[in-house]
Every structure is written in C-alpha cells, then in structure tokens.
Chains A and B, each alone.
Chain A
Amino acid sequence: MNQLMTEIIDGLGVMHLTPGNVAMWLIAFVLFYLAIKKGVEPLLLLPIGFGVFAANFPLTGLLEEGGLFYIFYHYGIENELIPPLIFLGLGAMTDFGPVIANPKTLLLGAAAQLGVYAAFFGALFTGLFNVKEAACIGIIGGADGPTSIFLSANLAPHMMGAVSVAAYSYMALVPIIIPPIAKALTTKQERAMPMGMMRMPSKTEKIVFPVLASIVIILLVPKSAPLIAMFMVGNLFMESAVVDRLTDVARNALMNIVTILLGLGVGSTMTADSFLNSKTIGVFIMGVVAFAFATAGGVLLAKLMNLFTKNKVNPLIGAAGVSAVPMAARVVHNMGTEANPQNYLLMHAMGPNVAGVIGTAVAAGAFITAIL
C-alpha cells in the first residue's frame, strides 16, 4: 500500500516541478504578453511561447524520442524541412519587381549583411561562444527568422530557442532600432532626397528572375540551395500565374501549418537547462549589435554608391536591407516622408528589403560551407 502511494505521488508532475520549469513558464508568459497584448510577431511568438510552456511540464515525454514535440523538432526542424517550406510561402508572397527595376539595390541588401559579421566577431570577443554559435548569433542581423532557425539547426541546435526568439523579437523592434542609426548616419538633406518613379518590369522579367537568381546563387553558394530553391519556386508559382492553386496553398494553408509546427518545435527546445544561462543574455545583446551594424552597413553603402553613380539613391533605403519585410521598408518610407512630405520611398526601399532576404540566405549558406 505504501509502495503504491509512493508510485502515485511520484507519478504526479507537480512533484517533479523545478524552479527552472517555473522560470521558463514566466518566459513563456512574457512571450504570450508580447504576442497577444503588444502584437509582436504573434504568428511565431505565440506558438513558440506555448511550446516553451508545454515543454517545461515535467514527465510529459513530449521531448523524449517519439514524443510529439520531439517529432516536430526532429523531423521538421533538425532535418531542415520547415524553414525551406516557410521560404516557399515567402517566395509566393514576394514581389521582386523593385529589385528588377533597380538591380543595384541588390548590393544594398548585401551591405546590410555586414551586421551579421560584426555580431559574429562581437560574439567571439565575449569569449562565451565558439565559431558555430557566433555564426548563429550573427545571422540574427539578417532579421530573417526562418534563416536563423535553419542555420541554428545546422550549426548549434542548442542555441535555436534563444536565437529564434531574439530574431523575431528584434524584427518587431525594427521601428525602434532603425531610425536613430539611420538618422545619425545621414543629413536631413540626404533623407529628403526624392527618388523618381520606378519603371514597371515586364511579366517576362518577373518570370525569368527566380530562374536566373537560382542559377547564380546556387551555383556560387550551393549550401544556400534549400532556402533559395524553395524561395524561387514559390516566386515562380506566383509570377507564372498558371498554378494559382499551388500559389494559394504555398502562401496560405501550407505556410500556416508549418508556422504552427515551427513555433511549437522551436519553443520546445527552450528548456530550463538550455535557456537559463549567460549565453542567452549574450545572444540578446549581440542581436542588437547585429541589427545596428546591418542598418549602418546598408546606409553607408548607399552613400558610397552615390559618390560613384549618376542615378543617386536616397541613402535611407539602404537601411531597409535588414530584411524584416516589409516593416523595414515602411520605417524607411516614413523617415523619408518625415524629411520631405513629397518623398515616396516605399517601393524603392522594397528593393534592398527583399535583397536582404536573399543576402541573409546566402550568408547562412556561406557559414555552413565555411564551418561544416
């Protein structure tokens, strides 16, 4: 009888609850608050938050081999399935028209990746991280959640929770992070610089772009193929306009399903042991560094380009190179309008904005090639 009582009591989850579990619940509640009350990336932070919450109940078996969250994580994220599927949906929603109309904005997307490498070195200087971990922290500067998760799954799976939460949280803070840096690096005259009407690319150009981009990018950085190939096929679905059903599924139903699995899978990696340590604080600090340098890189290259080119660009659009589509472009547009009410920078800023997504995927592929 005594033994039976001991077994019953021992089987109660509450008997195995640790202070670490409770601390992780509090973090989950913060994520719920940010997502529900503040509207911070709710599509991701809400499932991630619940993943954190559920993963920190004792004795559930959710994270053990064969457990539900283990299956989400192992087959969806560790095997690199879900981030490319998210890219498929993103491709089916992305208009590359601004990049095709003004191809030099691709270089602004490249310049914004300087933040990735600044944070990479910053993380190494702290002495807390090795090269693989520093690469995952650096990629936060790309402001691209799926790419951050993709790279973490490849290089440092134990960092995935902190890296992805930092990436999605800072993406939502783009309206706070970009303006002071962009203002500090530009004069009012530069911010007020108007940009002419953008030409409208033909349908043929839009159909050719995903094929051309796949050839160039995958031939030069083959390890970026999972992300780039899916991004471009999604875009080809949309631009060809002959597979509306596939386009619709890619950007709606499939995107929503994989977002749920991604959020829960990533959240489930955030157990007390893996999250409550000094490295997590380092990830969040370096994430801001990454965003700041990414913004600065884009703005400074735009100013440099203006010294050598005839068709000058408003340097503010360089700040939109920090992906975070389309929020970064909107922030840049608002700053331009503030400096000159006649300014309409939104479509011009979308060029570096989508180029930043490509640039971050290439940076992730380059890290995998160089490190693995």
Chain B
Amino acid sequence: MVDWGNATSVALSGIISVFAVLAVLQIAVTVSGKVIEGMAKSQAEKQKS
C-alpha cells in the first residue's frame, strides 16, 4: 500500500530542491560573471592608463 502523503512530500521536496539549487546557481553564476568581467575591465583600464 502506497503512502501517498509521504510520496507527495518526497516529490515536492525534490522538485523544490532541484529548482531552488539551479535557480540559486543561476544567480550566483550571473553575479560572479559580472564581478569577474568588471574586475577584468578595470584591470585593462589600469594597464592602459
């Protein structure tokens, strides 16, 4: 006999975990990309000046 309540909570926690992890990673990658790009630009400007 399947415990549907338990099964639903397993699935819900999984879906939420997958989306939460990848959404947070998306934000982290976007932010880190901008920071690294900014640092590279300011370094390039310093070298020019």
**What CA separation (Å) do A216 and B5 show in the bound complex?**
29
**What CA separation (Å) do A92 and B20 show in the bound complex?**
26
Chain A residues with CB below 8 A from B17, complex form: 220-221, 362-363, 365-366, 369
**Inter-chain residue pair count (beta carbon < 8 A):** 107
- Mostly, the A contact residues are helix
Is A107 interfacial (CB-CB < 8 Å)? yes
Residue on B nearest A117 in the bound complex, by CB? B11
**What CA separation (Å) do A127 and B2 show in the bound complex?**
8
Chain B residues with CB below 8 A from A99, complex form: 29
B23 and A110 within 8 A (CB): yes
Residue among B3, B23, B27, B30 making CB contact with A131, cutoff 8 Å: B3
B2 and A130 within 8 A (CB): yes
B23 and A107 within 8 A (CB): yes
A370 and B9 within 8 A (CB): yes
Q: Mark B5-49, 1 if CB is under 8 A from A, else 0.
A: 011011101110111111111111110110011001000000000
Chain B residues with CB below 8 A from A127, complex form: 2
**What CA separation (Å) do A3 and B9 show in the bound complex?**
62
Chain B residues with CB below 8 A from A367, complex form: 10, 14
Is A201 interfacial (CB-CB < 8 Å)? yes
Residue on A nearest B37 in the bound complex, by CB? A202
B13 smallest CB distance to A (angstroms): 5
Chain A residues with CB below 8 A from B10, complex form: 120, 131, 135, 367, 370-371
B33 and A113 within 8 A (CB): no
Residue on A nearest B29 in the bound complex, by CB? A103
Residue among B19, B20, B28 making CB contact with A212, cutoff 8 Å: B28
Which interface residue of B2, B6, B27 has the most chain A CB atoms within 10 A? B2
Is A209 interfacial (CB-CB < 8 Å)? yes
Interface residues of A in 234-265 (CB under 8 A from B): none
Residue on A nearest B40 in the bound complex, by CB? A202
Chain A residues with CB below 8 A from B29, complex form: 99-100, 103, 106, 209, 212
Is A205 interfacial (CB-CB < 8 Å)? yes
Residue among A100, A110, A121 making CB contact with B18, cutoff 8 Å: A110
**What CA separation (Å) do A294 and B19 show in the bound complex?**
14
A107 and B21 within 8 A (CB): no
Is A114 interfacial (CB-CB < 8 Å)? yes
Residue on B nearest A213 in the bound complex, by CB? B25
Chain B residues with CB below 8 A from A117, complex form: 11, 14-15
Q: Mark A193-211, 1 if CB is under 8 A from B, else 0.
A: 0000000011011001100
> Do A217 and B21 form a contact, CB below 8 Å, given A135-B10, A366-B13?
yes
Residue among B7, B21, B30, B37 making CB contact with A134, cutoff 8 Å: B7
Residue among A100, A106, A208 making CB contact with B22, cutoff 8 Å: A106
**What CA separation (Å) do A217 and B30 show in the bound complex?**
16
> Do A216 and B25 form a contact, CB below 8 Å, given A121-B11, A131-B6, A366-B13?
yes
A31 smallest CB distance to B (angstroms): 31
Chain A residues with CB below 8 A from B2, complex form: 124, 127, 130-131
Residue among A103, A114, A135 making CB contact with B33, cutoff 8 Å: A103
Q: Can you list 11 contacts pairing A with B, beta carbon distance less than 8 Å?
A: A106-B23, A109-B22, A131-B7, A202-B37, A208-B36, A216-B21, A216-B24, A216-B25, A216-B28, A362-B22, A369-B17
B residues lining the A interface (CB < 8 Å): 2-4, 6-7, 9-11, 13-15, 17-30, 32-33, 36-37, 40
9 nearest A-B pairs in the assembled complex, by CB-CB distance:
A366-B17, A366-B14, A110-B22, A103-B29, A103-B26, A106-B22, A370-B10, A106-B26, A117-B11
